[in-house]
Structure 1
């Protein structure tokens, strides 16, 4: 069996089955669902933990009672022999925590009409590419690219797990002013996590108890989460190494050549022209 294939113009791993993609067309969205949506390796787990902690009234022990993989319905993948995620999600009580990397045209169509609360995290594409390249080498259900140069070309063409970075980020950026959508940048989380936590809490209408913000920031810092077995997937049978790696802004410099960086800047300018969406590539 092939490790991945292209469906609807998007490259998907074999664990994103045809059944899953077909089920998304009629997946029943609830208005009180809580969705965390990202392009792969853009800060998904980080935002999942922030949302979990705030939902549980900043009770860290309660939030982390269950591994983060099981707190959220990850709609994109199914373990061989297991029940598909959309079936499990249908039986979960509200409010459901849902995670997905699916592109807009393969997303549950009711997400537009039911308008659940959605947090979208965007990450600068150069760091996102570098992180995804490493993830392909550490996750045994994904294609292993023979070199960075091969992966770079595929990423620019949108022919990697997750499809086109440009299309996905532009889609959610253009929806950023809708009341049920919060667009957050990964780099802002690195710069001032406290401000992002406050923004998320205000978006959902969840109050942070007096004096708790600093504790939330400490608990949800990348370094803390990397040491937390409930958020860093060290025990996953699909991972050859720990799920969380560096989480840095600027790591792309260890991968992109000067010519690739310049070429990519031109591609970004062309693809995102007129959008107003900009990212920081170093802090």
Structure 2
């Protein structure tokens, strides 16, 4: 049985996109005016985007947690991938004062071309593909902008075939890993955020040249734990009208290793082989359990 169509998606240049990622958006990315002082958070979908946005937001506001959380995380960053109003996001971006906070999941072939030339600060978050796939599957269940899949098995096959929104997990992560030594790119692993959030926050702070006042780090760590953010109405997407959290919470578990509750032995063996083949030649290594 084919996936149930709630949101209509389509394939553009070999990549599947949801209907809110319009042809106009993809065309605009070819000439999108990137600014050198932009601040970008880039991820494959459901790889820790909101988590990193909250960290960047707080550091950006001088480690003032209350100031950062005055408005929803949904409104702090411009999401370039979605057009839900009459105003395309690239037009909105032109009117924004600098420095702009921007997020995107667009794959390398559809990202803003000037990113490589203008070299704004970019934080990329990568997550191990097994947990990433499980999280994205559940996100499809709740997000009315996206198609649903009748079973995990259907989604697993689509994920392995690079036939899910924003395309290949492999292409996206290998691409940004290859740029990790650029001065304007910081590659962070989701699993490191779970293991030692304080160290990750310090790395992000150092990357942007922002200082953390004495004794403030632990306050930020406490505020930015997954459990804290899940309870925070400014970060848990409780104000997002297109997400039915009765089906699956936007911030669901955040665990490393939850994939073991979904992958069958046969699926795990199939994916391990695929992973070995696709990652061959790359030094990028992920942890699949902690």
Q: 1:155-174 residue pairs with structure 2 within 5 A? A: 155-174=159-178
Q: Which residue of 1 aligns with 2:281?
A: 274
Give the counterpart of 2:37 among 32, 36, 40.
32
Q: Which residue of 2 aligns with 1:75?
A: 80
Residue 228 (str. 1) matches residue 232 (str. 2): yes
Residue 86 (str. 1) matches residue 93 (str. 2): no
TM-score, scaled to structure 1 = 0.98
Q: 1:46-57 residue pairs with structure 2 within 5 A? A: 46-57=51-62
Q: Deviations over 1:1-33 (max 9, x none)?
A: 961000111100101111111111110000000
Residue 41 (str. 1) matches residue 43 (str. 2): no
- Deviation of the 1:274 alpha carbon: 1.5
Q: Deviations over 1:123-175 (max 9, x none)?
A: 00000000000000000010101111110010001100120000000000000
Distance in 2, matches of 1:66 and 1:235, equals 11
Distance in 2, matches of 1:57 and 1:100, equals 24
Three-state SS of the structure 1 residue aligned to 2:10 is strand
Three-state SS of the structure 2 residue aligned to 1:126 is helix
- Deviation of the 1:74 alpha carbon: 0.2
TM-score, scaled to structure 2 = 0.96
Give the counterpart of 2:134 among 119, 130, 139.
130
RMSD: 1.0
Three-state SS of the structure 1 residue aligned to 2:277 is helix
Residue 243 (str. 1) matches residue 250 (str. 2): yes
Distance in 2, matches of 1:112 and 1:146, equals 39
Residue 8 (str. 1) matches residue 13 (str. 2): yes
Three-state SS of the structure 2 residue aligned to 1:200 is helix
Distance in 1, matches of 2:71 and 2:97, equals 16
Q: Which residue of 2 aligns with 1:264?
A: 271
Three-state SS of the structure 2 residue aligned to 1:269 is helix
Q: Which runs of 5+ in 1 are unaligned?
A: none
